[in-house]
Amino acid sequence: MTGFTENSYRVGGHDIHIKEKGAGKPVVFIHGSGPGASGASNFRDNIDAFVAAGYRVILPDLIGYGASSKPEGIDYTLQLFTDTLYGALREHGIERAALVGNSLGGGVAIQMTLDHPEFTAALVLMAPGCVEEQASYFTMPGIAKMVSGFGGPDFNLDEQRRLIANLVHPDFAPHIPEALVAERFAVARTQPKDVLARMKTPNLGPEVGRIAQPVFVLWGLDDEFCPESGARHFLDRCADARCMTFARTGHWVQVERAAEFNLYSIAFLDARG
């Protein structure tokens, strides 16, 4: 992937890396968790569509991921993810933006909106995390496989490929690009186990009713990481929410249903000026 500008910002003693492409109103894409995750790899099939639609695409790497700092011996809390990202975005000159968040990134987008409501113009959330008790997520089969398979001497490209396949519906697994596997494996080899083992997330489900911004939620019905029933939190509590679900789709709507995700999400943001 080419055509990016790149910067890093020191926030709270940590370096947060940001890639950028395009011009226009800013849209911040916040990636999810998992071995090898990064902004560019999570949204590789969405970037150019948003740029072509006239948006400035901002692709940060959360602390512990991508090219950002990966400290050991700390708890990776939702507040840590949110505060370091918010500080880096402000250093990058972003004063207000639409937030697009997948999984953990959805939780970060929600927390940032609750903490800094003036910063968020709109929310696009794909299977967002942090809307249930953390313990309930660890009962999900996808997360159990991800945590047990990460790290150790046997972690190799085949294991990385298997972990990515767990994110998607079995029908899509044969279509996972080898370039994506290699890209995420290179990052995963630099990540400490604390990134997953010491992650601490609150349940923001009861708080989402405080979100006044328009919210668009997308969810795969075969998600093995975040239960699709979580969409009800937004539909029941938010003042301006809509939801779209996809059959035979796993945790990665923006990857498995990239063309539809791009079409509907851009239309949602366009309609809100």
Query: How far apart (Å, rounded) are the C-alpha atoms in residues 139 and 134?
Result: 9
Of 7, 6, 16, the C-alpha closest to 88 is 16
Residues 6+ apart with CB under 8 A from 30: 39, 60, 62, 85, 99, 100, 101, 102, 105, 106, 108, 109
Q: Which of 14, 31, 169, 251 is catalytic?
A: 251
What would the two tokens of residue 242 be? 């809509």
Query: How far apart (Å, rounded) are the C-alpha atoms in residues 92 and 50?
Result: 19
Of 132, 138, 230, 174, the C-alpha closest to 245 is 230
Q: What is the DSSP string of 46-58?
A: THHHHHHTTEEEE
251 is catalytic: yes
Query: How far apart (Å, rounded) are the C-alpha atoms in residues 143 and 166?
Result: 9
Query: How far apart (Å, rounded) are the C-alpha atoms in residues 186 and 190?
Result: 7
Degrees to nearest 5, angle at CA 164 with 34 and 101: 50
Query: What are the start-end ranges of the H helices in 53-130?
Result: 78-91, 104-115
Active site residues: 251
